[in-house]
């Protein structure tokens, strides 16, 4: 078996590192969303909404946020798992699958982290958004929003690096090399 080129090894390492970044980002997004839901409820009650309306708005905001975060995390895990296929007989399709999924997963991650700090209730007037923003600012540490932005940028750049590394001439040659026949043929 020929030796895997450095670009493919680096792409593999970046894929695994990106999965780690995604885990950190998803954790921060979930924590931010939890604070956001409290902020949405308190802002709605400050506007005179009843318990049911405040709870429904919080539920809708949480549902969209948590589903988006979950899909993003699952997609990032899937892209990381494709790296295992680079050494095996499935390597050709895993490279194509990585190209296919990497950019959408990166964009989904940016959207998920943005969504974690954005209320969506259907009642989004200026006063409500101001009340929610102030409640959220009091609830989360000041370093969280910049940390989310840094994670968004790092994740997006990492996925672009993976795609670029897998498109290098050395990587193309690796993925197009003739396969060894492992089948046992009777004499």
pLDDT tens per residue, range 147-166 = 877 887 888 888 889 889 98
* 27 in a structural domain: yes
* 183 in a structural domain: no
Sole residue written with tokens 């193309």 = 172
* 84 in a structural domain: yes
pLDDT interval class at 54 (50, 70, 90): confident
* 167 in a structural domain: yes
Tell me what the pLDDT averaged over the chain comes to: 77
Q: What is the pLDDT of residues 133-151, one digit of tens each?
A: 777 777 777 787 788 778 8
The span from the CA of 26 to the CA of 35, in Å, is 14
> What is the domain extent for residue 28?
6-176
The span from the CA of 114 to the CA of 120, in Å, is 12
pLDDT at 62: 82
User: Span 21-28, mean pLDDT?
Assistant: 82
* 184 in a structural domain: no
Q: How many separate domains does the chain show? A: 1
CB crowding 7-36: b at 16 or more within 10 Å, else e: bbebbbebbeebbebbeebbebbbebbbbb
* 182 in a structural domain: no
* 11 in a structural domain: yes
* 187 in a structural domain: no
């Amino acid at each position: 078996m020929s030796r895997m080129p450095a670009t493919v090894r680096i792409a593999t390492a970046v894929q695994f590192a990106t999965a780690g970044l995604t885990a950190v980002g998803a954790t921060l997004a979930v924590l931010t969303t939890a604070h956001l839901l409290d902020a949405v409820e308190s802002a709605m009650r400050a506007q005179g909404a009843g318990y049911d309306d405040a709870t429904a708005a919080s539920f809708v905001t949480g549902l969209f946020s948590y589903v988006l975060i979950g899909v993003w995390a699952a997609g990032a895990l899937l892209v990381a798992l494709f790296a295992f296929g680079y050494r095996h007989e499935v390597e050709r399709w895993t490279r194509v699958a990585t190209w296919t999924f990497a950019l959408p997963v990166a964009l989904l991650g940016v959207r998920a982290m943005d969504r974690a700090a954005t209320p969506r209730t259907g009642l989004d007037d200026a006063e409500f958004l101001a009340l929610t923003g102030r409640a959220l600012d009091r609830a989360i540490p000041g370093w969280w929003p910049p940390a989310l932005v840094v994670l968004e940028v790092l994740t997006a750049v990492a996925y672009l690096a993976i795609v670029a590394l897998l498109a290098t001439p050395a990587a193309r040659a690796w993925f197009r090399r003739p396969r060894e026949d492992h089948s046992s043929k009777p004499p």
